[in-house]
Structures are given as C-alpha cells and as structure tokens.
Amino acid sequence: MHVIAREPRAEAAFLRLPRSGNHHDLGLFGVNAAEGSLRKDQIGLYHLAWQVDTIDELADAREALLDALAYTGESSHGATKSIYGADPDGNQFEIMWMLPRTEWGEYEHSAPIDYLDLSAEMERWTGVDTAGHIALETQ
C-alpha cells in the first residue's frame, strides 16, 4: 500500500493498494486523535465504511439513517462524499460515494474534512456509477 494522504487534525493516514480504483482502501487514525473518537471502555474498532454505487444511493442512505435516528453527520472528503451513522452499540460507520476517477484533481493526494452540500452534489452527479472499478494504471 502507498500513503496517498495524511490528515493531521485526525492523526490519520490514508493508504491505497496498487491498481486500486479507490481513493483510499485503508484509513488509519491515531487512538486519541479526535476527542470522543473512542470511549474509555472501547478497544480497537473506531469505524467501518461502505461504498455505494451512486450519489443517489448516498442520499437514500442519509434518509434511512435519519428515519432510524442513527444519523450522526456528513462531510465531503474531496474525492469522496460521506454520510455517518452509529449502530446501537455506538460504533460509528460511514457510507460513502466516490467521484469518478477523472474528477479527483487536487484531491488525488488529500482527504479534507469539508462541508457536504448533498443537494448540489446530487444535481451534478445523479446517476453516475463509480463503484467497483479497478484502475489499469499503477499509481
């Protein structure tokens, strides 16, 4: 794996496998990086992430989490757009959609934490499927 981005505020490093079509395949976070990221009685798992095929599915996931009272937030990470929730045990999870590879631009080697304007993203990306593609070039 190659380190493709670092996020000092979260003491995080994002890694990508060779030939992966993902922005990052693994995110590593410092244990005490984000206040409240781990409870004192919690060991190990901080969060999991799942990728959806379209921005439309991300919006549907947001509504489902809101309906289930499990929604905890959302953000734009440049190349990926994310919705967050928590399971009944309080474990955080992420549901994300990734921009088309050709649109990563300045986000090739960064993973910012920015405001997500989901309505604007839907206007631009509705119906665009980006999941499950393997890059033919090695990075």
Domain boundaries, the chain: 47-125
- For residue 80, which phi and psi values (nearest 5 degrees)? -130, 150
C-alpha–C-alpha distance, residues 74 and 116, integer Å:
6
Which pLDDT band holds residue 135 (cuts at 50, 70, 90)?
low
Encoded tokens for 118:
């989901």
- Residue pLDDT, tens place only, 68-102: 999 999 999 999 999 999 887 777 889 999 999 89
Q: Using the structure block, give the residue that is written with the tokens 């992966």.
A: 20
C-alpha–C-alpha distance, residues 131 and 129, integer Å:
6
Tell me the average pLDDT of the chain: 84
The verdict on domain 47-125 having CATH code 3.10.180.10 is yes
User: Model-level pTM greater than 0.85?
Assistant: no
Quote the pLDDT of residue 39: 60
Question: What's the CA dihedral at 131, 132, 135, 136 to 10 degrees?
Answer: -140
